[in-house]
Structure 1
Amino acid sequence: MNGTGSSTTAATAVERHSFFDDVQALVTGTLFVSIGLAMFRHAGLMTGGTVGLAFLAHYASGLPFGALFFTINLPFYWLAWRRMGRRFTLKTLAAVTLLAGLSEVLPTWFQLQRVSPWFAAVGGGLLVGAGFIILFRHRASLGGLNVLVLWLQERFGWRAGYVQLAIDGVILLASWPWIDAQRLALSVLAAAAMNFSLAVNHRPGRYVAF
């Protein structure tokens, strides 16, 4: 009985990520997201979350996307620090800064000549979702609404993917002045693909390391 108990304890023990673990996760997760967003932009699609809000502000003002994305996230760090802790907030700040930088330099490193809008919606959505999962599992996010969604999941048990999908739907509808009906429909498909990945793979208790 002692041996079984020891094995169970070892199997359920929470393992803290190392500094290297977190760094590679931040780089990999934000890279996945940035490539997915590059596919969206090439196909003229929208997305949700603070990224979608930054897209809306970019289309409306013409200001650089990266700077807008970084600025929109600033008010949410107080909630992150107060509700999610210092480690989460600092890692989220690092991820947001990295994505803001990648969004500006990636077009010079990675250029798409042609991509089917349908593939951009589904493939890009799944890439963004995978990037979010990597960040979430290392107690980080891309700030803003992701922080709010994660807090709602931890506080009330609301599934992150479903809550994010509802918020994204509102943001996508607000993009109507800048994209046509077909691109809006494909943007909804992209949001569904992204949040399907989150809903299936990011469940409370499924992954316990931090």
Structure 2
Amino acid sequence: MLKLKTVKEQFIENGYMERISMAVINGMLQAIALNLFWQPGHIYASGVTGLGQIIVTLSEDIGSVQLPMSVVLYALNIPLFILAWFKISKKFTVFTMFSVFMTSFFIQIVPVTTLSKDPIICAIFGGGICGLGVGLALRAGLSSGGLDIVSVTIRKMTGRNVGSLNIIFNACIIMTSGFLFGWPYAFYSAFSIFVNGKVVDMVFTKQKKMQIMIITTKPEAVICEVQKRIRRGITIVNNAEGAFNHNELTILITIITRDQIPILQNAMRDSDPKAFVSISENVTIMGNFYEPLD
């Protein structure tokens, strides 16, 4: 019993239980979006899920054989699992495989049900529900597979974000769905992808960078507290002067992500609660910026 308890404690401490829980929730939400809104409304999702939808639809029209969407989705991710295993990390790959498995599992067991035939309603709710699931998964440090793996691999190898890759791939899916199944559905699919992205941005704030400028009389204490809690570099500007009483000040400049704001607030409260802190939102970063992958 003691050994089992120790393993459970390690899972909780490492955040594994949270990741597993979010993988299950993400799988349920993605299945609901696909089987209750996208499929009945003939809306095509972004990324590998959209590619899987096109393959399933083509198999029905050409071969009159309905391929299971769950099997197609997992099969499309297998080459990407291999890429992640060798180029990213084994832990990242295991959690991604579990996340994709849960999505495929719930897609298989949740029946396709028509709640509305209005494609706009299907686009909005499908995109919103899927975006909520992906956002929660990303907050827990999970990947939903697909193009995420390619993006992380390129970012790890080159240090650059590749948002254009997702744009180009999704544009190809939209154009293909319009060409094969009618242009109105291409526009609805584009709208659903837009809603999906907006909801992900609302839920997952870790990718939003913020520039922090701290004006303090206790620079050593502030630096110690901030770097103890957040892995971030800090630039020190000495010999600043206050205009009111001409006292000597130090300016500290760093970049954090939006989800680290509460941690920064606690660090400032414990080191110098009287310091002046200025926050600039959504700054553009050029160069290296530490982002843990797992």
Q: TM-score, normalised by structure 2?
A: 0.59
Which is helix-richer, 1 or 2? Answer: 1
After TM superposition, give the deviation of residue 113 of structure 1 in Å.
3.5
Amino acid at match of 1:158: N
Distance in 2 between residues matched to 1:207 and 1:79, nearest whole Å? 29
Aligned partner of residue 175 in structure 1, secondary structure: helix
One of 25, 37, 55 as aligned partner of 1:57: 55
Partner residue in 1 for 2:18: 21
In structure 2, the CA distance between the partners of 1:50 and 1:96, relative to structure 1 (3 Å rule), is same
* Cα contact 2:56–2:67 (8 A) shared by 1: yes
**Shift in Å at residue 16 of structure 1?**
6.1
2:23 maps to a residue whose letter is L
Q: Which has the higher strand share?
A: 2
Alignment of 1:154-165 (within 5 A): 155-158=158-161, 163-165=165-167
Q: Is the 8 A contact 1:137 1:207 kept in 2?
A: no
Q: Tell me by how many angstroms 1:163 deviates.
A: 4.6
Cα deviation digits, residues 113-165 of structure 1 (max 9, x gap): 425321211221121112112222223222221211234455534275x6533
Q: Secondary structure at the match of 1:146?
A: helix
Whichever residue aligns with residue 27 of structure 2, its letter is: T
Distance across 1 between alignment mates of 2:106 and 2:20: 15
Out of 47-56 and 146-155, give the one that drifted further: 146-155
CA contact (8 A) 1:30 1:95 kept: yes
Structure 1: which 5+ residue stretches go unaligned?
A: 1-14
Q: Are 1:100 and 2:118 counterparts?
A: no
Shift of 1:35: 1.2
Contact in 1 for aligned 2:155/2:162 (Cα 8 Å) = yes
Q: Which moved more, 1:84-93 or 1:132-141?
A: 132-141
Deviations 1:150-190 (A, max 9, x none): 34455534275x65333211122122343211111100100
User: 1:103: Cα distance to partner?
Assistant: 1.1
2:266 aligns with: none
AA paired with 1:34? A
Measured in 2, the distance between the counterparts of 1:24 and 1:17 equals 13
- Change beyond 3 A, Cα 1:51–1:163: same
Deviates more, 1:130-139 or 1:197-206: 197-206
Gaps of 5+ in 2: 1-11, 60-65, 209-256, 261-291
Listed as ranges, the matches of 1:1-210 within 5 Å are 17-38=14-35, 39-61=37-59, 62-107=66-111, 111-153=113-155, 155-158=158-161, 163-199=165-201, 201-202=204-205, 203=207, 205-207=257-259
Q: 1:81 to 1:116 in 2, by over 3 A?
A: same
Classify 1:141/1:79 alpha carbon distance in 2 versus 1 (closer, same or farther; 3 Å): same
Q: Partners in 2 of 1:183 and 1:16 — Cα distance?
A: 46
Q: Is the 8 A contact 1:26 1:135 kept in 2?
A: yes
The farther-off stretch of 88-97 and 189-198 is 189-198
- 1:5 maps to what in 2? none
Count of residues paired in the alignment = 193
The answer to whether the 8 A contact 1:45-1:187 is kept is: yes
Counterpart CA distance in 2 for 1:107 and 1:185 is 26
Q: Distance in 2 between matches of 1:20 and 1:206?
A: 24
Cα distance, 1:196 vs structure 2: 2.6
Q: Which structure has the greater CA radius of gyration?
A: 2
Structure number with greater CO (CA < 8 Å, separation at least 6) is: 1
